Amino acid sequence: MRQIINFTLFSLLIILFLNGCQLNNETTNEDIFQYKGSYVGDNSAVGNLAYQLPNGEFLDSFELKTTEEPYGIILNYKSIEAEDLLKTYKETAVYNATFIFALVQNADWITFNFGEKAYKITRENLQNWYGKELSEFTSEDAIRELIQEYLQDDHKVNQLFG
């Protein structure tokens, strides 16, 4: 009888463990638009969003500036390895700022610190650059298409960073 109880408990433990692993995989693959409507003050939402964006694996830390308006985010990156670092930095900044401004409703500016190089992008400047209201986007694919269209033109990218 004792062996049957031990076997049942062990089997239950294995099932719970496997079920927990499955739930973890589902949450890591969730749509990035789950963060739409979040606020700069939501540390968890902004952090999870930033780590899911391109070069998120190089994100060292982030700061949320919420004591006075305009509200902002500072993203500090570790060394990114790439052939053309400046181009990679600019593309990362454009891509990540576009998604953050589309999803975090009260973010007004973002500073990207890439070690020796820093870029600050404001919501107003980025929306003027695109000629579109970023908060109106409802799908990840539509944002990606917009970003790719604008990143193809190096001259246009350089205009944003003036």
Quick one: pLDDT at residue 18?
54
Quick one: pLDDT at residue 14?
54
Q: Which residue has the tokens 């973002």?
A: 110
pTM across the whole model: 0.81
**Bridge-based pairing state of the strands 109-114 and 59-65:** unpaired
Quick one: pLDDT at residue 140?
95
Quick one: pLDDT at residue 24?
38
pLDDT-based confidence at 54, cuts 50/70/90?
very high
pLDDT-based confidence at 50, cuts 50/70/90?
very high
pLDDT tens-digit map of 112-122: 999 999 999 99
For residues 29 and 59, the model is more confident at: 59
Quick one: pLDDT at residue 31?
86
Of 2-11, 31-40, 85-94, the one with minimum mean pLDDT is: 2-11
pLDDT over 50 (residue 23) = no
CA distance linking residue 85 with residue 81, whole number of Å: 7
Concatenated DSSP letters of the chain: -HHHHHHHHHHHHHHHHHHHHHHHHHHHT--GGGGTTB-TT-HHHHHHHHHHSTTGGGEEEEEEE-SSSSPEEEEEE-PPP-SSHHHHHHHHHHHHHHHHHHHBTT--EEEEEETTEEEEEEHHHHHHHHTS-GGG---HHHHHHHHHHHHT-HHHHHHHH-
Cβ atoms of 132 and 160 within 8 Å: the answer is no
pLDDT-based confidence at 162, cuts 50/70/90?
confident
